[in-house]
Amino acid sequence: MSPLTEPDGADVLADVLYSLQLQGRIFCRCEFGAPWSFGVTPEGFGHFHLIEQGTCWLGLPNLPDGIPLEQGDLLLLLRGSPYTMSDDRDTPTVPLGEIVGDSHGSTRTRLEYGGSGPQTHVICGSFEFRGPQAQVFLSVLPEWIRVQHRSSDANEWLTTTMRYLQQEIRSPEMGADMIITSLVNVLFVQAVRTWLKEQPAGAGGWLGGLRDPTIGAALGLIHRSPDIQWTVPRLAREIGMSRAPFAARFTTSVGMTPMNYLKRWRLQLATRLLQNPALTLTAVSAHVGYESVEAFSRVFRREFGIAPGQYRHAHTISQGSLNS
C-alpha cells in the first residue's frame, strides 16, 4: 500500500484549508453583565466569538462605529489585530489580561465579569494556522468575518453547530475535547464558505477563482495532479481555452500567474509530505512534480531558506517536544 494519503485534490478549498494545519481551541465561556468591556491583542492568533445570549459590540481600530453582534452570531478575527468587545460602545475598556490574569483558559473555563445589567454569554476561542505558507493563503481573507444567524445560508448549520458545541462544553463525556476541536474547525470552514458566497464576481482572490467554473477547473487539475509537468498551454488546453485568455483570466481571478500558483502549491504540499517519515525525499520530490531531489531542494531552499531534510528534522524535533 502506498504511504501517500492525501485529500481529494478536486476539492481545492478543502485541500488548501487542510494545508493550513488549522488548530482551533476554546479558551473560555464568558458570562458578562452590563456594563462590561475588554480589549485584546491576539499576538498572531486568530480569534472567534460565538454569541450564545444577548448582544454586544466589536470594536476595531479602523472601524470606529463598531460591529453589532447578537444572539446566534459568529465572529471570526483573522489578522491578529487588537480589538475590543463590550456591551456598549461607550463603556471604558479594560485589558483582558487584567481580567483573566495568568490563566490560559480551556474548554471548561468559565469567566464571569461585569455589572448587574443585562447578560451577554459568549463562547470564545482561537485559531492557529501551522502551515508554513498559511499567511499567503489567508491574505485573501478579510480582517474579520461575521456570520449572522439570520442569514439564510448560515441559519441551519450555525444553529446546529452551536447546539452541539454547547452540549459538549457543558456536559463533557469521553472524547469531548476531540469533538469540540472538530466543531470549532467546522465553524471556521463554514464561515469562510459563507463569506465566499457573499462576495461579488471577481472578488475573493484565489478563493473567488473557485467560483469561476473555468478557473476552478484549472485549480482542480493542479491540486489533483501536482506531479504533472503543467504548462500554461497544457492547462488551457485541458479546460478548453486559448493560452493567452486563460493566463489573463487566471491571473486576474487568483492574483498570481498559473505557474506561480503551481509552484506555491507544490511547495505547500511538500511541507506536509515531509512530515511523513515513511516518505523518502525522492518520493516527495516526484509527488510534487520535480524530476530530481536536487531540483526540488533548490526551489525549496530558495522559498523557505532551509533544505527539505533540515525542514523534516526540525519538524520531527518540534513534534517530539509537543508530544513529550
What cell numbers appear for 33 in the block? Answer: 453583565
Split at pLDDT 50, 70, 90, the class of 233 is: very high
Strand ranges (DSSP E) for the chain?
22-33, 37-40, 46-53, 55-60, 63-70, 74-77, 83-86, 94-95, 110-114, 119-129, 144-147
What cell numbers appear for 185 in the block? Answer: 474547525
Kindly list the domain boundaries of the chain, sorted by start residue. Answer: 21-197, 205-323
Q: What percent of the chain has pLDDT over 70?
A: 87
Q: Which fold has domain 205-323?
A: Arc Repressor Mutant, subunit A (1.10.10)
181 neighbors 25 (Cβ within 8 angstroms): yes
What cell numbers appear for 55 in the block? Answer: 448582544
Q: What average pLDDT does the chain have?
A: 85
Would you call 199 exposed, middle or buried from its count of C-beta atoms within 10 A (0-12, 13-18, 19+)? middle
For the segment 42-100, what is each residue's pLDDT rounded down to a tens digit?
Answer: 677 789 999 999 999 999 988 878 999 999 999 999 877 889 999 999 999 999 888 88
Split at pLDDT 50, 70, 90, the class of 130 is: confident
Least confident of 3-12, 136-145, 185-194: 3-12
125-136 burial, b if ≥16 CB within 10 A, otherwise e?
A: bbbebebbbbee
Residue type, 268: Q
pLDDT for position 321: 46
Q: Which fold has domain 21-197?
A: Jelly Rolls (2.60.120)
What cell numbers appear for 231 in the block? Answer: 504548462
Q: For residue 9, is pLDDT > 70? A: no
